[in-house]
């Protein structure tokens, strides 16, 4: 009879590790990557590398009703391409796809920043949120899942929350490796 014990320990460890990862994150990964690819095609350049590690570590944690957080940063993008279209929002909407509904958009003409926030229902009374923040040189794409209590805060004060999101995107741009 063959001894299976040496294989058993790594197998148990692997299963235990997989259990710690939220299932939604695994399912949503491919979709987020496809969005990143569409953004890459739009800007004709890839996102900043090594962001995957940040996403990996941020994913299992749920802070303030937010989970399954994923982010991609595109730096030194072609600004003329961003502002080429008369209606950036409609370009972004077609990039994002129909399941997402526009929720909040903020355009600051002084800084040239656009923040467009889209939402869609993701089951279990959770909302999936997609934030695209674009300025003259960078673009940040963030995706996350919000528990109802977190979504309620957004509904109550969408302007302040979107300003927070913009600040978060700016911090992410500054803190990138």
Partner 1 sequence: MNARNKKIRSGALAAFFVAMLLGTLSMPAFGQNPRLDIKNLEALSKKASEVVDVNLDGSLLKLASKFMTDEDDREALGIIKNLKGVYVKSFTFEKPDDYSPADVEAIRSQLQAPAWSRIVSARSKHEGENAEIYLMTAPDGGSVLGMAIICAEPTELTVVNIVGPVDINKLSQLEGKMGIPRLGEQTDESPQKPEGHRAKP
String of DSSP letters for 3-61: --HHHHHHHHHHHHHHHHS-HHHHHHHHHHHHHHHHHHHHHTSPPPTTHHHHHHHHTT-
Q: Which of 41, 157, 164, 171 binds partner 1 (CB under 8 A)?
A: 157
Site string for partner 1, 70-109 (x = CB under 8 A): -------------------------------xxxxxxxxx
Shortest distance, position 127 Cβ to partner 1, whole Å: 7
Piece of 6-14, 70-78, 120-128, 132-140 that binds partner 1 (CB under 8 A): 120-128
State residue 109 phi and psi, 5-degree precision: -65, -30
The site that binds partner 1 (CB under 8 A) totals a number of residues, namely 25
Kindly list the distances between the CA atom of residue 173 and the CA atoms of 21, 31, 100, in Å, as whole numbers in the listed order: 26, 23, 24
Q: Which residues make beta-bridge pairs with 71? A: 142
Tell which one of 67, 70, 82, 127 touches partner 1 (CB under 8 A). Answer: 127
State which residue, 17 or 156, has the beta carbon closest to partner 1: 156
Residue 3: other Cβ atoms inside 10 A? 7
Per CB under 8 A, the list member of 37, 41, 75, 121 interacting with partner 1 is 121
Binding-site ranges for partner 1 (CB under 8 A):
101-110, 119, 121, 125, 127, 148-149, 151-152, 154-159, 162
């Amino acid at each position: 009879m063959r001894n299976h014990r040496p294989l058993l320990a790594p197998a148990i460890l692997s299963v235990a590790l997989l259990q710690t990862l939220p299932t939604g994150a695994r399912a949503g990964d491919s979709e987020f990557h496809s969005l990143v690819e569409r953004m890459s095609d739009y800007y004709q350049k890839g996102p900043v590398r090594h962001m995957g590690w940040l996403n990996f570590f941020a994913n299992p944690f749920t802070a303030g009703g937010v989970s399954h957080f994923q982010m991609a940063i595109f730096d030194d993008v072609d600004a003329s391409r961003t502002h080429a279209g008369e209606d950036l929002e409609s370009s972004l909407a077609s990039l994002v796809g129909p399941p997402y509904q526009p929720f909040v958009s903020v355009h600051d003409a002084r800084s040239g920043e656009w923040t467009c926030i889209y939402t869609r229902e993701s089951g279990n009374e959770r909302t999936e949120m997609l934030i695209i923040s674009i300025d003259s040189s960078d673009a940040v794409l963030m995706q996350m899942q919000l528990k109802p209590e977190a979504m309620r805060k957004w509904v109550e004060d969408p302007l302040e929350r979107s300003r927070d999101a913009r600040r978060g995107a700016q911090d992410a741009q500054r803190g990138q490796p």
